[in-house]
Homo-oligomer: A and B are copies of this chain.
Amino acid sequence: MGITKSEIFSEEQNKIASMAKVLGHPARISILQQLFESNTCICGDLVDKIGLAQPTISQHLKELKNAGLIKGNVEGTSVCYCIHRENWVAMKKLLISFLDHDISTTSQCC
Contacts and interface: CB of A to CB of B under 8 A. Distances in A.
A4 B29 CA distance: 13
Interface residues of A, number: 56
A27 B80 CA distance: 36
B110 A41 contact: yes
Given A21-B20, A36-B101, A30 B51 contact: no
Given A85-B103, A96-B99, A110 B26 contact: no
A14 interface: yes
A70 B8 CA distance: 23
B109 A83 contact: no
A55 interface: no
